[in-house]
Amino acid sequence: MKSPSLRVYAIAYLLFLYAPIILLPIFAFNDSKVVQFPLKGFTFEWFREMTEDAQLGIAVKNSLIIAFSSATLATTLGIFAARASTRFSFPAKGPIMGLIMLPMVLPEIIVAMSLLIVLLSMGVQLSLLTIIMGHVLICTPFAVAILSSAFQSLDKSLEEAAYDLGETPFSTFRLIILPLVLPGIISSFLICFTISIDEFIISNFLGSGEAVLSVYIFGQFRFPAKVPSMLALGTILVLLSIILLTIAEYFRRRGIARTGGKDTGGFL
Amino acid sequence: MDNNGLLARIRRSEGASGLAIISPSAIYVILLLAAPLATVLLFSVLTSERGQIVLDFSLANYETVFSHPVYKAIMLRSLTVSMLVTLATVLLAYPLAYYISFHVPAHRKSMWLFLVTLPFWTSYIIRVSLWRVILGYNGVIDSALMDLGLIGEPLNILSNGVASIVITLAHAYAPFAILPIFVALEKVDRSLLEAGQDLGESKLRTFWRVTLPLSMPGVIAAVLIVFIPTVGDYVTPELIGGGKVPMIANMIESQLLKQRDQALGSALSVTVMMIVAVVSIIFLLLNRRFLRGQK
């Protein structure tokens, strides 16, 4: 059953989805300070200008620190939550899991502002650490979602076999469970890393004004002269996130193959 | 039975092990999420004086939120904009989800889904900022159309704040709408459609009477997934609307950080949560009705 009009619509829709990403490299290499047609010629000027930006260097370093710490912490908390919720039934399981997953359905501004009110009234100094605290909150639900499916597909009899052969719960976890869910852990880490690098609201409100990548980009787009070098930066970021996601997807698929499950779709 | 044995049994019991394992994550969210939310709830019924919270219970903040013309206008605008965004996103997404589910061969489906979700994983700030460059005065659209001789004057779509916000957010949340609708459409039993057509219904009527109702749970999920974050969106009104079309999130920020009125800011935050909760409940009830209708 072929339907040409629907196919045309689908392709037009994809064009709409990809329009910004296609324009990004076109204007990043365009030899003009204003972003408009017709194109003026090829240049590396904007990439050069970008690498000479000292503020940007600091912002990248800070963002990497935040993303690495948040992804590590969120994945660790995710492992605890996913393991507990897939393997055990315990009192108040629903409310606890609901609370952990809540940031997924709560507008981010609420998470940021309520945390900010408490931190300010307790006299806590805002810093990279406070941003990390917030990012862990919003990354953990994604980590739990990814890791739950990894833990879910574990065969319980493998674990029981290990106990029968005299392993302790801890060594069973280390020798049997951990290697099997490792691909899930890696893909959870990469997803959390991407979310944290990208996140704006918490970085903006829970930061001390120290440069962070997303906040820096937000600020720079207000100056028309800075737009081309931001497009150059954007081109690099898009390339990096595509690479990270491809790696994450590879590990997720390998994880499913390893535990003998069936692939049921992508991340979302 | 002595106490030791009982204690050991509790320790070995499933509930205790589960609680022990989940405790790090649970403690983290209780301290950093539940406690702050409770604080906001408390502050919203207290009073602010010169940037300080005083223990003086009153509902005055809520009265201000619901009766003061400025707040009322901003709330109504936020609701209208996010409903427009939700409507546009879901209406645009449905045909694509339908195409992927019914017309794309099975082995190509995951490639299409990957294509649809890929743009979502690239920096949100950059995507939103790019729309500003694309829609702006003499920007990409204006200059391209003028170059082709299709228009004489710049369209300057960006000057229309609401339209620009709707375009930007419909783009940003597209995958969130496509995926749940796709999942619902995949579950539609294809033999029902054949049965409908065998019984003499036209393709359009089969779609209207079978496919559409059966895919409603996906549509409702899409509506919720798009509506909830857009109601609290801060970046787009700021970057695209240029601060001229503030929405609730921008209002909360200005109350808490610029006016230092924590009580009123908290009341606004609680109001947003209530709006989200009410909309979610309405749609979940609708969903239940659709599910019951299927049985």
- How close A38 comes to chain B (CA, Å)? 7
pLDDT at B243 exceeding the cut of 80 = no
pLDDT at A196: 92
| Residues on chain A touching B262 (C-beta within 8 angstroms) | 117
Contact (CB<8Å) A133/B32: yes
Give the pLDDT confidence of A2-33 residue by residue, as tens digits: 578 888 999 999 999 988 888 888 888 877 77
The pLDDT confidence band at residue A65, using thresholds 50, 70 and 90, is very high
Contact state of A10 with B32 under an 8 Å Cβ cutoff: no
Residue in this structure with the two tokens 């359009």, named with its chain if needed: B204
The lowest-confidence range among A124-128, A248-252, B16-20 is A248-252
Whether residue A99 and residue B34 make contact (CB cut-off 8 A), yes or no, is yes
Q: Which residues in chain A have their CB less than 8 angstroms from residue B187's CB?
A: none
Tell me what the mean pLDDT of segment B109-118 comes to: 85
For chain B, give every domain's residue range: 1-43, 61-294
pTM: 0.83
pLDDT digits (tens, 9 = 90+) for B47-67: 877 767 777 788 888 888 888
Q: Determine the distance in angstroms separating the CA of B64 from the nearest CA of chain A, rounded to an integer.
A: 19
Q: How confident is the model at residue A158 (pLDDT cuts 50, 70, 90)?
A: confident
Question: Of B229, B195, B208, B192, which is closest to residue B89 (Cα–Cα)?
Answer: B229
Ordered DSSP codes for chain B: --HHHHHHHHHHSHHHHHHHHHHHHHHHHIIIIIHHHHHHHHHTTSEEETTEEES---SHHHHHHHHSHHHHHHHHHHHHHHHHHHHHHHHHHHHHHHHHHHTS-GGGHHHHHHHHHGGGGS-HHHHHHHHHHHHSTTSHHHHHHHHTTS-SS---GGGSHHHHHHHHHHHHTHHHHHHHHHHHHHHS-HHHHHHHHHTT--HHHHIIIIIHHHHHHHHHHHHHHHHHHHHT--HHHHHTSTTSS--HHHHHHIIIIIS--HHHHHHHHHHHHHHHHHHHHHHHHHHHHHHHHH-
Q: pLDDT over 90 for what percent of chain B?
A: 16
Top mean-pLDDT range of A31-40, B270-279, B286-295:
B270-279
Residues from chain B that touch A201, judged by Cβ atoms under 8 A, are 234-235
Among partner residues A7, A20, A36, which is closest to B127 by beta-carbon distance? A20
Residue B11 pLDDT grade (very low, low, confident, very high; cuts 50, 70, 90): low
Tell me the count of A-B CB pairs closer than 8 A: 250
Chain B residues touching A242 at Cβ < 8 A: 118, 121-122
> Whole-number mean pLDDT of chain A?
84
Give the CATH fold of the B61-294 domain.
MetI-like fold (1.10.3720)
**Partner-chain contact B119 A37, CB within 8 Å:** no
Query: What does the pLDDT look like over B78-95, one tens digit per residue?
Result: 889 899 999 999 999 999
Phi and psi angles of residue B202, each rounded to the nearest 5 degrees, phi first = -75, 165
A96-105, B8-17, B114-123, B220-229: the lowest-pLDDT one: B8-17
pLDDT score recorded for residue B161: 78
Question: pLDDT tens for residues B114-157?
Answer: 888 888 777 788 888 888 888 877 777 877 887 787 777 777 77
pLDDT at A47 over 60: yes
Could you tell me the domains of chain A? 45-258 (1.10.3720.10)
pLDDT band at A79 (very low <50, low <70, confident <90, very high): very high
Q: Do B124 and A200 make contact, defined as CB atoms within 8 angstroms? A: yes
Summarised one tens digit per residue, pLDDT across range B170-224 is 998 888 899 999 999 988 888 888 888 888 888 888 888 888 888 888 999 899 8
Give the Cα separation of A24 and B129 in Å (integer).
11
Percent of chain A residues topping a pLDDT of 70: 94
pLDDT value at residue A260: 59
